[in-house]
Structure 1
Amino acid sequence: MKKLTLMLSLLFFTAMGAFAQIEDPVTWSYAAKKVSATEAIVYLKASMEKGWHIYSQNVKPGGPIKTSVKFEPSAAYTKVGKTIEPKPITKFEDVFGMDVSYFENDVIFQQRVKLAKGSAVVKGTVEFMVCNDRKCLPPNEVSFSVQVK
């Protein structure tokens, strides 16, 4: 009887795992373009599924987790200025009790870098939180690596 109970429990949890889906409504892509012999722009693009959004880098404390881009230190390149973003949508969100800025559909973050030599591999991470009108998923962090030639 114990074996039967154990087998049924194992079968139940295996079946439940098969039906569970991990939501991942944001897809990231990366590119770089040289703008001179010594400088390039790194592009970090987030594409969100319909109904989902990620937050600006400039969300005030007390709100959702803002998007943050961190570049790994390297002798091959140095950052020039801050990571820029397009103009976000800003609206009052009751859940946070404040105005928040966010992006829907697609957003491209840009970072200018100065190259020590003619090429470099630019690496780092992007931390972000994604929400829709019903829920927010836990903050996520993705790594990126972009070849600048």
Structure 2
Amino acid sequence: MRKKLVVVLALLCVLAFCMAPAAATTSSDQTTKKTGMTVTPIVGDVMWPKGSNSGTVTQGETKTYSYTVPAGSTTLSVKVVWGTTASNLGLIVQTPNSIGYGEFDDATDGSTNGSLALQFQDNPLQSGQWLFFVRGKSVTGSQSFTITIVSS
């Protein structure tokens, strides 16, 4: 009897362990609801700062950028521009407490035009170092891009 109980408990532990990643992996919509964060495409003009970072990715390659959001900020805007519809880049955004949003791509903002602009809003946003992962989602050869990030 005791041996059967140990086997049943072991199976339950294995089952719980297998289900944990599925519960932790959520879509951006589910994460948005859970954390209170609102993520929306930016349509129209935004006052982007003059400074931006540039990079190049190949198919499946990922480049990482970071940005420190100051305490009290309520809006974070990010724009990735690669300028051609022949390639598609993906963007994943990770908060300082490791909650991931995305993978967003060219069509996320409703227009396939070689760029992506998103706004993250919360009152307040989590302050600290945010990470931005730009991935070559559909690239032949290599694709250059710029990424601009601003908070307020």
User: TM-score, normalising length from structure 1?
Assistant: 0.37
- Relative to its length, the structure with more helix (as a share) is 2
Indicate the structure (1 or 2) with the bigger Cα radius of gyration: 1
Larger RCO: Structure 1 or Structure 2 (Cα < 8 Å, ≥ 6 residues apart)?
2
